[in-house]
């Protein structure tokens, strides 16, 4: 069973950064699944319904940035990992309206109300330790967005019955929600295993068996993310993963926030 966190939660961001730097060279081939048609449609629709600059927070190797660049809008693609930025630059080398930025999502080096669309995809929000720090990312996104601008966030949903190990998954979550001893485990598979649980519901330290490295990950719920966005002044709406499940139980839902005037 997972144990309690092995270090203060404030140290987990640096630990996660080390993990991201390590997996960057082989991320696309081993970890980065192609965007689904559902994801592409949501991204393109969001781009077409906004104007001005686009910011991709936690761009990774540029999977989402590459699609956003086709909208022919000025684009900032941002990550805290130099290795990830390097690979994203390779994908966007032919884009003349795209600029890489090395930055922390909690402190965006961008002026207020200057952006039309912010995307925070690839489950970036789940790698940010503590609810306070995740709220800071949403608040910063709201600060840089113009009125009526959009924020897109995706995340892993701990209430999801997808994939198939759903009965065990839901039973363990039921115990967790009832404040029973903290024994929540994500699916053990050929790649990942939960080794520790943290102070907040959904906090995990996960072992990447292939890399032999551990990293922090927070597994959210739709209600949790929508509440964060509303607290930051957004009107929130959630889409399912496009795989036939209700949005409340989708494995990787996408929540759209529109900044209120």
Domains recognised in the chain with CATH numbers: 11-159+220-259 (3.40.50.150), 160-217 (no CATH)
Which among 192, 256, 215 is positioned nearest to 45, based on CA atoms? 256
Q: Specify the higher pLDDT residue, 57 or 130.
A: 57
The pLDDT, as a whole number, for residue 164 is 40
The pLDDT, as a whole number, for residue 111 is 97
Q: Render pLDDT for 8-41 as a digit per residue (tens, 0 to 9).
A: 666 788 888 899 999 999 888 877 778 889 899 9
The pLDDT, as a whole number, for residue 83 is 95
pLDDT at 84 over 60: yes
Q: Render pLDDT for 178-193 as a digit per residue (tens, 0 to 9).
A: 443 333 444 445 677 8
Q: Render pLDDT for 234-258 as a digit per residue (tens, 0 to 9).
A: 999 998 766 545 677 777 899 999 9
- Residue 162 region, left (φ>0) first, then alpha (ψ -120 to 50), else beta? beta
The pLDDT, as a whole number, for residue 241 is 64
CA distance 219 to 201: 8
Question: Can you tell me the mean pLDDT for 149-156?
Answer: 96
């Amino acid at each position: 069973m997972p144990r309690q966190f092995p270090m203060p939660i404030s140290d987990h961001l640096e630990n996660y950064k080390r993990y991201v730097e390590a997996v960057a060279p082989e991320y696309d081939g081993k970890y980065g699944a192609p965007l689904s048609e559902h994801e592409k449609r949501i991204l393109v629709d969001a781009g077409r319904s906004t104007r001005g600059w686009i910011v991709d927070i936690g761009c990774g190797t540029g999977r989402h940035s590459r699609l956003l660049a086709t909208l022919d809008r000025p684009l900032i693609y941002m990550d805290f990992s130099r290795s990830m930025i390097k690979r994203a630059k390779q994908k966007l080398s032919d884009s003349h309206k795209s600029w890489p930025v090395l930055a922390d999502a909690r402190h965006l080096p961008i002026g207020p109300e200057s952006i039309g669309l912010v995307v925070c995809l690839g489950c970036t929000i789940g790698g940010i330790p503590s609810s306070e720090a995740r709220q800071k990312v949403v608040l910063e996104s709201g600060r840089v967005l113009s009125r009526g601008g959009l924020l897109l966030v995706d995340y892993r949903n701990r209430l999801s019955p997808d994939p198939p190990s759903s009965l065990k998954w839901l039973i363990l979550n039921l115990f967790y929600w009832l404040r029973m001893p903290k024994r929540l485990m994500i699916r053990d598979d050929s790649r990942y295993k939960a080794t520790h649980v943290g102070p907040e519901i959904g906090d995990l330290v996960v072992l990447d068996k292939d890399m032999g490295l551990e990293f922090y990950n927070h597994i959210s719920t739709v209600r949790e993310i929508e509440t964060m966005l509303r607290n930051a002044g957004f009107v929130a709406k959630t889409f399912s993963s496009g795989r036939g499940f209700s949005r409340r139980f989708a494995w990787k839902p996408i929540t759209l926030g529109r900044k209120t005037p």
